Amino acid sequence: MASLRNRTRRMLVMNLEHEVSCASGACGCKPMRVVVTDQSPVTGVRAQRVIEKQVCASLTLLPRELRRGLPDSVLGCREVKAALRAGRVEVVAELPPAPAPKKEATP
């Protein structure tokens, strides 16, 4: 699991590609219906048709927000990589919890 921190004073929105972010098995994309207009090159007649396509998920970070528990595949997305290179976002390393102290047996 990864943790990302927004280092800016502005809200950041990053689009996550389906191929990269959904590779771990849990797809965050949503189906969406889009109406497109096609024009026939022969007759010039225009007709509308409905296309169903997948819309990628996005990651929104509020100013100075630390978001924990993100899948590691998010770090492979283009917009996240660009934000990391620009210094707008940083990866915060999470330390594993400290082991509980062992109880000594009392004689």
pLDDT digits (tens, 9 = 90+) for 38-85: 898 899 899 999 999 888 888 999 999 999 988 888 888 899 999 999
CA distances from 30 to 7, 36, 51, 97 (A): 29, 19, 14, 35
Model pLDDT, residue 69: 87
Domain ranges across the chain: 2-91
Q: What's the DSSP call for residue 95?
A: P
% of the chain beyond a pLDDT of 70 = 89
